[in-house]
Amino acid sequence: MSSSTVIVLDFETSGHSPGLGDRPIEVGAVRLEGNRIMDHFQELMNPGFPIGWFIESLTGISNQQIAQAPPCEEVMTRFADWIGDTPLIAHNAAFDRRFLDAELALIGRSRDNPMACTVLMARRILPEAPNHKLATLVHYCGIPTSGIFHRALADAEMTGRLWMTMTELLRERYKLDAIPFALMQHLSRISRTRVEHYLEKYCRQRQDHLNRAG
């Protein structure tokens, strides 16, 4: 597996808050290596209670489908094995991180994977976009879609393509040979007003390093 490998994940859930008892009903994820999707993961799961009409309507996932799905614990065990310690990405990662960590705790596991957020990145790299919802950004960037939204694998794949689009934009804008995950993660942590200055400094240091190596 290459050092540029990342996993982009998305949960469909019964609501907004694991703290109020909400749980995942589907997880979808794609494994990116460089600028290619190399693998994927998608499973429905049974949270142990019926979901509300709004979630059924939003996702198209029915209570009948959920009732036939394996329990969250079983799916999350497979998912934890699948992601390993690969760096993770999600759209509004704070949301998916809460559910991931809550479900991992329930199966006696924990997460060390670093995690980056495409909402935070898009606010910095695409500040001129009409808004930073996933569907808007995908349309704004001209990313082709299946037309499916609010299903875990489809949203994870769109988020992955958005991530690749933004890294490619930065790579071309700053004439870099690569955009490491750690750089994107750092950019999402600093103030928006400092992003351009930081990238210019990063480019100068990178060029100095190459000059010394050459």
Smallest distance, DNA to C-beta of residue 211, A: 33
Please, which residue, 110 or 211, has the CB nearer to DNA? 110
User: DSSP secondary-structure letter at 63?
Assistant: H
Smallest distance, DNA to C-beta of residue 73, A: 19
Please, which residue, 134 or 179, has the CB nearer to DNA? 134
Smallest distance, DNA to C-beta of residue 60, A: 11
Q: Contact, 114 vs 108, CB < 8 A?
A: no
Please, which residue, 16 or 201, has the CB nearer to DNA? 16
Give the strand order in the sheet containing 115-117.
Answer: 36-44, 24-33, 6-13, 88-90, 115-117
Smallest distance, DNA to C-beta of residue 8, A: 12
Please, which residue, 135 or 210, has the CB nearer to DNA? 135
For tokens 């994940």, what's the residue? 9
In terms of DSSP bridges, do strands 24-33 and 115-117 run parallel, antiparallel, or are they unpaired?
Answer: unpaired
Alpha carbon distances (Å) from 56 to 47, 59, 64, 117: 14, 6, 10, 26
Contacting residues toward DNA, per CB under 7 A: 10-13, 15-17, 19-20, 52-55, 58-59, 91-92, 94-95, 98, 119-120, 123-124, 131-135, 150, 155, 188, 191-193
